[in-house]
Amino acid sequence: MDQKTAGQRHPTLKRHESLQPLSRDHYVGLVQAQHLIKSADADGAQRRRVLAEFLDAWARDICVHFEDEERVLPELMEAADRERMLKEHVRLRELADEAARRRRQVDPGGDWMRGLGEMLRDHIRWEERVAFEHIEDSADPLRLEMLSEQTAMIERSRPRGRGRGRSAAGGRRS
């Protein structure tokens, strides 16, 4: 292992430009997943705060991202990948609905929060490491070019931190 990758478990993935906007969207989900997982060891009040932040990110970013993926990716995906993506999106939507119910509880439950975070993290990692790789390897250049046009429109629709009360790193602005 060289010095460049010695501190990384997984080397940085270089995405085809057509998939880069969708990969950038994954950052929000990964941050939320990590917060959910870490909150499992916190108290009930902290878990409710983390759940509220997740639900805000869900409504603003993650759910919209799922809809975009479901609109532009299925025809480029292998059948098994398409089936898995759609099945996991359904399950994560169900968990987001449950999160809205649990947010009203005194304690939403540490194990449940960890499970939600792990499911979201694992789904995103699978898309990046498997599904997107399969698309890049199997789609013909013309289809990737058409995807680039669609994802360019998606990219233009994303505020990417502008005007949402957050800095680029995802923290609150003062």
113 found inside a domain: yes
- Token code pair at residue 36: 């959910």
Q: Say if residue 76 is exposed, middle or buried (CB neighbours under 10 Å; 0-12, 13-18, 19+).
A: buried
* pLDDT of amino acid 13: 64
119 found inside a domain: yes
Q: Residue 159 — pLDDT band, cuts 50, 70, 90?
A: confident
81 found inside a domain: yes
**Domain limits for position 116:** 25-157
174 found inside a domain: no
Instruction: Give how far Cα 155 sits from Cα of 119, 149, 150, 159, Å.
Output: 25, 10, 9, 8
* pLDDT of amino acid 121: 98
Mean pLDDT of 125-143: 94
Give the dihedral sign, CA 100/117/123/141. positive
29 found inside a domain: yes
pTM score, two decimals? 0.84
20 found inside a domain: no
Q: Count how many domains the chain has.
A: 1
Mean pLDDT of 112-141: 96
**Tell me, what amino acid is at 87?**
K
169 found inside a domain: no
171 found inside a domain: no
- Token code pair at residue 77: 């995906």
